[in-house]
Amino acid sequence: MQQYKIDFIKLLVKAKALKFGEFTLKSGRIAPYFFNAGSFFTGELIHELAKAYAGAFLDKEIEVDVIFGPAYKGIPLAVSTTNVLFSEFQKNVSYCFNRKEAKDHGEGNLLVGAPLNENTKVLLIDDVMTAGTAVRESMEILKANGNPKVSGILIAMDRMEKNNDGVSAVKAVEEMFNVPVYSIVNLDDVVEVLHGKEIDGVVYIDDEKMELIKKYREQYGA
């Protein structure tokens, strides 16, 4: 496993962005783990998070002109990732994000950042993917604002779960929009790094938690 993935998984538990226990999701599912990118709220943590996105971006060799971050959580992800790509890897990529409502004064645009047109190659960046609703909204926004070519979608963690239709949430989005979905890590990576191993003196996935994860995946895993 690449070092940036290992570092990212350790960062997830350090930042308490990935927790293990019993959590009720929006879907009503009772999950044995929970991911929350909102936990990356310090300068150090958002920088390390952006390094992980940048690592995945370079590892997958994604060729894009603009990284698009959907409001609201995607905004800091897009801005910080483009910053790290330039400052640490000398790769100059632009960013763009949407407002929830278009301004009725000044430039009056719905989008902020790099201008988009049909020749622009865009990477959509987000934290996780569930039903694909946020992706669908972003695609509609992009189509109505320059109609750029979406080269891919990059998320932090692939939960490797089925959606409500019983198919992989990631595969459903890939097929719906004909774009590849990349992730920094997936659940298999997390289990490999954390199960039965100490991270700063803590075993985050012991055998008991592992059994809960297995049972959950038997029911909802893709």
Interval 191-212: pLDDT, tens? 999 999 999 999 999 999 999 9
Residue 28's pLDDT is: 83
Task: Give me the residues of the chain with pLDDT under 50, please.
Answer: 105-108
Residue 186's pLDDT is: 94
Entry pTM: 0.90
Residue 37's pLDDT is: 85
Q: Which of 217, 220, 194 is nearest to 207 (CA)?
A: 194
Question: Strand 94-98 to strand 111-113: parallel, antiparallel, or no bridges (unpaired)?
Answer: antiparallel
Residue 104's pLDDT is: 53
47 is catalytic: no
User: Of residues 103, 143, 214, 215, which has the active-site annotation?
Assistant: 103
Q: Are 129 and 156 in contact (CB under 8 A)?
A: no
Residue 46's pLDDT is: 94
Residue 99's pLDDT is: 86
Please give the domain boundaries of the chain with CATH numbers for all domains.
3-220 (3.40.50.2020)
Q: Which residues, at least 6 apart from 113, have a Cβ–Cβ distance to it below 8 Å?
A: 66, 78, 94, 95, 96, 97
Residue 19's pLDDT is: 94
Is the backbone peptide bond immediately before 72 cis, with ω within 30 degrees of 0?
yes
